[in-house]
Amino acid sequence: ILNVEQSPQSLHVQEGDSTNFTCSFPSSNFYALHWYRWETAKSPEALFVMTLNGDEKKKGRISATLNTKEGYSYLYIKGSQPEDSATYLCAPPGNKLVFGAGTILRVKS
């Protein structure tokens, strides 16, 4: 099972701030990369599935980019809101949905 690295481990921002975090993965044998949002006491919910190098996907204020050659994906949140507080997980390619440790985001109002 491949190692996945997500950074930072946690992040505290003020409401209205924009933020981003990283998922790093081995670039060989790429297949697809998943991003999920996991709110406390709930189940993880899918945000994006990215398959092509250079992919950029957007859902509301959240967007993600993918670089398969260098082995990383960025998740961006524009104008963070308290309801964005959650753990953001990525599952890199070929890993049968093995998740990284996640980035814990806390947005203060």
**Binding footprint of another protein on the chain (CB under 8 A):** 1, 31-32, 34, 36, 38, 42-46, 48-49, 51, 87, 89, 93-94, 96-99, 101-102
Q: How far is the CB of 16 from another protein (least distance, A)?
A: 27
Whose Cβ is closer to another protein: residue 80's or residue 87's?
87
CB-nearer residue toward another protein: 18 or 98: 98
Nearer to another protein, 91 or 107 (CB): 91
Minimum distance of another protein from residue 55's CB (angstroms): 12
Strand order in the sheet with 62-67: 5-7, 19-24, 72-77, 62-67, 56-59
Least distance from C-beta 24 to another protein, angstroms?
17
